[in-house]
Structures are given as C-alpha cells and as structure tokens.
Amino acid sequence: VQLQASGGGLVQTGGSLRLSCAASGSIFSINAMGWYRQAPGKHRELVALITDGGTATTADSVRGRFTISRDNAKNTVYLQMNSLKPEDTAVYYCKLDYNRRATYSRYDYWGQGTQVTVSS
C-alpha cells in the first residue's frame, strides 16, 4: 500500500492550503481516511476523519476552518484548510483504515507526513 500526500507548505496567517492524499496498492476496500497532525513537542492528534459512507469527524480546534472530503473513485482524501493560524503549524499525516485485498484483513497505514507552516 502507498499513500501519496501533497499540498503542504508555508502560508501566512489567514491563508489557505489544500492537502491531498491518494491511496493505492493492495486495497480491497477503505473504511476511513483521515488527517492527523503533530507539532514539535506534542502528541499526534486527530484533525479530521471521513468514513467510506461520508461521515466526517473534525477536531474542535479546526471545526469551521478545515473541511475534509473524499473522492472514493480515486481513493483520495482532501483537507481544505482555511483561516490558518500559527498554532496549525505541524506535520500533517494521512491515515488509511482499509481491508487488504485477498485476505480482507483490516489495517491502518500511515503516510510519511507533509509539513504545514503558518507564519504570523
């Protein structure tokens, strides 16, 4: 399985970025895809998650500013981040919750992360 994430970068306070994460490989089905982030010295935390059925969960800290969406045909999840704040600075990780082809066993798989930096 591979996760190809893109869209991170440097942006000023109040700006926007859009992250994307495409999954490929031995995937029979996807249960959920999500974004987590980890700032220096802090634990990794959930940002937003979306299930196969389209149910989205968003952290309180980003609700109203970030929107998660998904293209099932492309096995891709997006995170639209608006009104960015310096405290949003972190490495953002894509996570895949899927069932493997042939075995149908359920696994979690993490992408390598993409840096988002918001300058004040």
Instruction: Say if CB 19 and CB 36 are below 8 A apart.
Output: no
State the Rg of the chain over Cα.
14
User: What pLDDT was estimated at residue 37?
Assistant: 98
**Three-point CA angle 21, 104, 45, nearest 5°:** 40
- The DSSP bridge partners found for residue 33 are 50, 96
Calculate mean pLDDT across residues 92-101. Answer: 97
User: What pLDDT was estimated at residue 97?
Assistant: 98
- The DSSP bridge partners found for residue 11 are 118
Question: What's the pLDDT tens digit per position in 49-94?
Answer: 999 999 999 999 999 999 999 999 999 999 999 999 999 999 999 9
User: What pLDDT was estimated at residue 107?
Assistant: 96
User: What pLDDT was estimated at residue 27?
Assistant: 95
Provide the CB-side half-sphere exposure for 8 (13 A, CA). Answer: 18
User: What pLDDT was estimated at residue 115?
Assistant: 97
Instruction: Say if CB 1 and CB 11 are below 8 A apart.
Output: no
**Residue 25 to residue 95: CA distance in whole angstroms:** 14
User: What pLDDT was estimated at residue 118?
Assistant: 98
User: What pLDDT was estimated at residue 95?
Assistant: 98
